[in-house]
Amino acid sequence: MLNRLRSIWTIPDLRNKILFTIAMLLVFRLVAYVPVPGISPSALSNANSSNTGDLKQFFGLLDVFTGGSLYTFGIASMGVYPYITASIVVQLLQGIVPKLGAMQREGEAGRNRLAQITRYITVPLALLQAFGQMALLVQLGAIQPTQFNLFNGGSFVPTLSALVSLTAGTMFLVWIGELITENGIGNGISLIIFANIMVRIPQQIGSQLISNSGGAGSGLSTGGAIGILFIVALGLAMTFVMVMVYLAQRRIPVQYPSKRRVFAMERAGQETTYIPMQVNSAGMIPIIFASSMLLLPVIIANFMQTSTNTGLHNFFVTIRTWLDTTNWWYWVIFGLMVGLFTFFYATVLWEQQNLAENLQKQGAFITGIRPGARTNEYLTRVMHRLTFGGAIFLGIVAVAPALISTNQNNLPFQAASLLIIVGVALDTIKQLEAQMVMRNYSGFLS
């Protein structure tokens, strides 16, 4: 490992890519501390410490992508979450809107147009999310209602400046992420989320130590030490399983026609390769989908439970009770929704690939399976079986932390965080290895 790291550092252009990535991440972390104009950090901190429940749980979902800057409410407090939402929307629309699906098949030019459309969608989504976050801060008491009103002459300019600042912060992070993707190592957007999560780890460890020791001034008890060791062991075990599932794949052998020259004569032949079909092709997207779907009714209930209509009030109170994270049925619903979204997202991604059709156009075939419809049926059946295992895995990972922790405010997002860390780390390692292999080959041939 040390020799490989040393060899990476000795290659000038690869070293420059790594240094550029680190520099951009540092710029991003500096931007995260730039405050939104007109918002008092002290009032926000007091509101955060004095409030618990569903509103704080919703902020926990968003805080996964912001590295804790949401609670300081800097201009980067929304992170790249609107861009991720826009990317998912565009990806899902490709199977519905034929023109978008055609762009994906146009090559680099089509992908660039889809990326531009994603940026256009990100701006209104960022404005909408900024408006929603400020409305929730009013509910938490961090912002006075007189400070947040677009339809009041006295508060219009401060409100608009805050919304524009938050939107500009998100687009700036998207720009940094794209710079990292083009000139650095790895996917820039994923690395920004990865850096956010890693920044929070020391704070979470400190909080866990304090809670297990009984306070900031007391020593760590035997029971607290055993609890921490158990949590560390569980985290390592989950990480190991996640790596195994992330790398797990079924290889479908495929025969491609080829020509080879034998004694100045060309003869037709076959070349064997394989299609790698992953067990967990959906990544952490299903957990985010399920969390959002469960939290959206809760947020609406927080706004509507003040209604003077008794029936409407009781309806939203019932929703809040059913979707309370302290109830066991919440976690059952959450695990089932993660499994369903895993099937949905994996199916959408599969249909966009048109793999059977592409194989038939290239003259390739799977041994024992007729090209065309039979190949599509076979591959779809294999995909469903693999996805079933991935859905069970994601459901267990999402629910497992609730069985061992007393603080259930942000548990589903801890599972998503761990999946993000594992996925981004493995992808970055693969890119570094690809860069090394490419340079070794070029050095060997020259």
* Residues 157 and 252 placed together within one structural domain of the fold: no
Q: Are 302 and 55 in contact (CB under 8 A)?
A: yes
The reply to whether 213 falls in a domain is no
Is the torsion defined by CA of 403, 404, 407, 410 positive or negative? negative
* Residues 250 and 202 placed together within one structural domain of the fold: no
The reply to whether 212 falls in a domain is no
Q: Which domain holds residue 96?
A: 1-206
Q: What is the CA radius of gyration of the chain?
A: 25
Length of the chain: 446
CA atoms of 254 and 133, how far apart (whole Å): 50
pLDDT tens per residue, range 245-268 = 888 888 888 887 765 554 555 455
Is the pLDDT score of 139 beyond 80? no
Is the pLDDT score of 428 beyond 60? yes
Question: For position 327, what pLDDT does the model report?
Answer: 74
The reply to whether 296 falls in a domain is yes
The reply to whether 6 falls in a domain is yes
Pull the structure tokens for residue 113: 């147009």
The amino acid that residue 322 corresponds to is W
Q: Are 62 and 85 in contact (CB under 8 A)?
A: no
Q: How confident is the model at residue 76 (pLDDT cuts 50, 70, 90)?
A: confident
* Residues 238 and 333 placed together within one structural domain of the fold: yes
Picking from 156, 190, 206, the residue at the C-terminal end of a domain is 206
Is the pLDDT score of 30 beyond 80? yes
* Residues 270 and 384 placed together within one structural domain of the fold: yes
Half-sphere exposure of 233 (CA within 13 A, CB side): 7
Question: For position 120, what pLDDT does the model report?
Answer: 93
* CATH number of the domain within which 356 lies: 1.10.3370.10
Percent residues over pLDDT 90 in the chain:
7
Q: How confident is the model at residue 27 (pLDDT cuts 50, 70, 90)?
A: very high
* Residues 160 and 246 placed together within one structural domain of the fold: no
The mean per-residue pLDDT over the stretch 329-342 comes to 85
Q: How confident is the model at residue 172 (pLDDT cuts 50, 70, 90)?
A: very high
Q: How confident is the model at residue 109 (pLDDT cuts 50, 70, 90)?
A: confident
The reply to whether 445 falls in a domain is yes
- State the pTM of this model: 0.77
Is the pLDDT score of 218 beyond 60? no
The reply to whether 217 falls in a domain is no
The amino acid that residue 21 corresponds to is T
Is the pLDDT score of 271 beyond 80? no
The amino acid that residue 385 corresponds to is R
The reply to whether 221 falls in a domain is no
Burial of 323 per CB tally in 10 Å (0-12, 13-18, 19+): buried
CA atoms of 126 and 65, how far apart (whole Å): 14
Phi then psi dihedrals of residue 228, to 5 deg? -65, -40
CA atoms of 297 and 292, how far apart (whole Å): 9
Picking from 190, 206, 222, the residue at the C-terminal end of a domain is 206
pLDDT tens per residue, range 87-105 = 888 887 877 788 887 887 7
* Residues 165 and 61 placed together within one structural domain of the fold: yes
Q: How confident is the model at residue 117 (pLDDT cuts 50, 70, 90)?
A: very high
Is the torsion defined by CA of 221, 223, 228, 233 positive or negative? positive
Long-range contacts of 328-331 (CB under 8 A, 24+ apart): 330/294, 331/399, 331/402
* Residues 86 and 169 placed together within one structural domain of the fold: yes
Question: For position 411, what pLDDT does the model report?
Answer: 46
Of residues 382 and 142, more confidence is placed in: 382
The mean per-residue pLDDT over the stretch 137-158 comes to 73
Picking from 206, 238, 257, the residue at the C-terminal end of a domain is 206
* Residues 249 and 199 placed together within one structural domain of the fold: no
DSSP result, 186-237: S-HHHHHHHHHHHHHHHHHHHHHHHHHHTSTTSPPPHHHHHHHHHHHHHHHH
CA atoms of 118 and 115, how far apart (whole Å): 5
The shares of helix, strand and coil residues in the chain, as percent rounded to the nearest 5, are: 70, 5, 20
* Residues 332 and 412 placed together within one structural domain of the fold: yes
Question: For position 161, what pLDDT does the model report?
Answer: 87
Is the pLDDT score of 363 beyond 70? yes
Is the pLDDT score of 114 beyond 80? yes
Q: Are 419 and 242 in contact (CB under 8 A)?
A: yes
CA atoms of 179 and 184, how far apart (whole Å): 7
* Residues 287 and 246 placed together within one structural domain of the fold: yes
* Residues 148 and 279 placed together within one structural domain of the fold: no
The reply to whether 383 falls in a domain is yes
Of residues 32 and 410, more confidence is placed in: 32
Question: For position 54, what pLDDT does the model report?
Answer: 53
Q: Are 117 and 90 in contact (CB under 8 A)?
A: yes
* Residues 142 and 236 placed together within one structural domain of the fold: no
Round the average pLDDT of the chain to a whole number and report it.
Answer: 76
Question: For position 121, what pLDDT does the model report?
Answer: 92
The amino acid that residue 163 corresponds to is L
Question: For position 204, what pLDDT does the model report?
Answer: 65
Number of domains in the chain: 2
Q: Are 231 and 208 in contact (CB under 8 A)?
A: yes
